[in-house]
Chains A and B, each alone.
Chain A
Amino acid sequence: MSNAKRITTPISSDTVKQLKAGDSVLITGQIFTGRDAAHKRLNELISAGKELPVKLEGQVIYYVGPAPARPGYVCGPAGPTTSYRMDPYTPQLIELGLKGMIGKGLRSQTVIDSMMKHGAVYFAAVGGAAALIARSVKKSEVIAYEDLGPEAIHQYYVEDFPAIVVIDADGRNLYTSESSKYRRP
């Protein structure tokens, strides 16, 4: 991560264009957390034409359900969860201006198409590096769906959150390109 690009949230369309698959980044600013149950609720509101509890324009969603924080900690261990479960709900959020997602693992072609059409980027954080990643979370507050416990939407303020661009807005996919580089017969 030594040659990492520093980016701040919210992210603009210009920033999205400059981010390429393979770039290491350090993210600073506010991001939202959200995973399965929160995505389901957001989509139910969108379908009903109702207002969302968060404004998505230029925002980044981190797919995470953190562990509880020990006393004295801002945030419990908080590594990424597997992203494909959010795929059915994602294009609708991108259409509303979501610019970045942080997770781990594969995405559907429908999500990638939506990212290319509207300009959004998918970052991977290292799965299982939860205790390490939590150190970059400087503030944490539940802002919606508190009843969902670990699945509630939190607003984090992060400093130098380490991630890698795995799918960029041109549809380049690091998971595909890098594994073929190291494949042996």
Chain B
Amino acid sequence: MRELPASQISDAVKYLFLKANFHAGEDIMKALKNARNREISPTGKTVLSMIIENNEIASQEEIALCQDTGLAVVFAEIGQEVHITGGDFREAVNEGVRAAYSEGFLRKSAVDDPLFDRKNTKTNTPAIIYTDIVPGDGIAFTVTPKGFGSENMSALAMLTAADGPEGVVQFVVDTVIKAGPNPCPPSVIGVGIGGTADLAMVMAKKATTRTIDEQNRDSRYAALEREILEKINNSGIGPAGLGGTVTALAVNIEHFPTHIAGMPVAVNICCHAARHAQGVL
């Protein structure tokens, strides 16, 4: 059993949220520059140049690259040999979020009650926390500050086996086309296939945090990722929705076994910033 002070969890979470909000990933910057090279729309090229310049300014000055610094989403894989001391896990994560959003001059976007009060909690907590218990004596974090311009464009379809791969392609492409300029394209499209309705959505969110040129390990799903990406980029939506040939930077599919009667498909869209950061304690 390894003892891990809760304060180290707070520190790690704080560090990762600051990193994700200030510094666009190297993979994202490379993808944006490639996109600018191949975009044929002059406006699309201008938009991509502005995004690249924006991300460089944010990184150099350590300011948020987007004003919507998101709800704080945390995926934690907790080794079963870890014993957390001096506090509880959830509070430690929230403390890290509070510190990052306060000290990093990040926007606090969380409201306490979704329907009636909608009062800003002023700390950007509570975080949305997903935990998994895994073998080992460490904790692996993936954090993603999730803006709601793109989150609001999420969709779920309870497809059937008869719908097949064509049904999946159609649903994902339709969802992205319907979203149009709203989620700040060129976007990263997360897709969850299988499991239950809820698991499909969590997989879709997790899929947006994958490194951008990483494909699904199953070649059939990898081919599906490429097919959907091509169809999305043929839609003409383009950077910022102002027309062009680059509407998405990547389509990432995660899949899981499901019930004989169903095939849940969830889509979670991430804007061009695709902010996420990973770290291990």
User: Which residues of A are at the interface with B, using a C-beta cutoff of 8 A?
Assistant: 1, 37, 64-70, 73, 76-79, 81-82, 84, 104-106, 124, 126-133, 135, 148-151, 162, 164, 166, 174-175, 177-185
- Return the contact of B238 from the options A150, A162, A182 (Cβ within 8 A): A182
Residues of B within 8 A of A68 (CB): 105-107
15 more contacts with CB within 8 A, not counting A76-B107, A181-B41, are A65-B107, A68-B105, A69-B105, A82-B182, A104-B182, A105-B181, A127-B181, A130-B58, A131-B61, A148-B120, A164-B242, A178-B244, A181-B236, A182-B236, A182-B245
B234 contacts across to A, CB distance below 8 A:
183-185
| Interface residues in B, total, Cβ within 8 A | 49
Dominant secondary structure at the B interface: loop
- Inside 8 A of B148's CB, which chain A residues have their CB? 82
- Name 21 A/B residue pairs within 8 A (Cβ), A-sorted: A37-B118, A68-B106, A70-B61, A70-B105, A77-B63, A77-B64, A81-B68, A104-B184, A104-B240, A124-B181, A126-B47, A128-B54, A131-B58, A131-B64, A135-B57, A166-B242, A175-B181, A178-B236, A182-B243, A182-B245, A184-B236
B positions within 8 Å CB-CB of A: 40-41, 43, 46-47, 50-51, 53-55, 57-58, 61, 63-69, 105-109, 118, 120, 122, 148-149, 152, 180-182, 184, 234-238, 240-245, 271-273
Q: Which of A37, A128, A182 has the most CB of B within 10 A?
A: A128
- Chain B residues near A65 (CB-CB < 8 A): 67-68, 107, 109
Cα distance, A178 to B43, chains bound together (Å): 10
Per CB-CB distance, the 7 closest pairs between chain A and chain B, nearest first, are A178-B243, A183-B236, A182-B236, A127-B184, A105-B182, A179-B236, A132-B54
Chain B contacts of A73 at CB under 8 A?
Answer: 63
Q: Which residues of B contact A175 (CB under 8 A)?
A: 180-181, 241-242
Cβ of A78 to closest chain B Cβ, rounded Å: 5
Tell me which residues across on chain B come within 8 A of A183, comparing CB atoms.
Answer: 234-236
Are B180 and A106 within 8 A (Cβ)?
Answer: yes
Inter-chain contacts of B50 with A (CB < 8 A):
126, 129, 132, 162
What is the distance, in angstroms, from B183's C-beta to the closest C-beta of chain A? 8
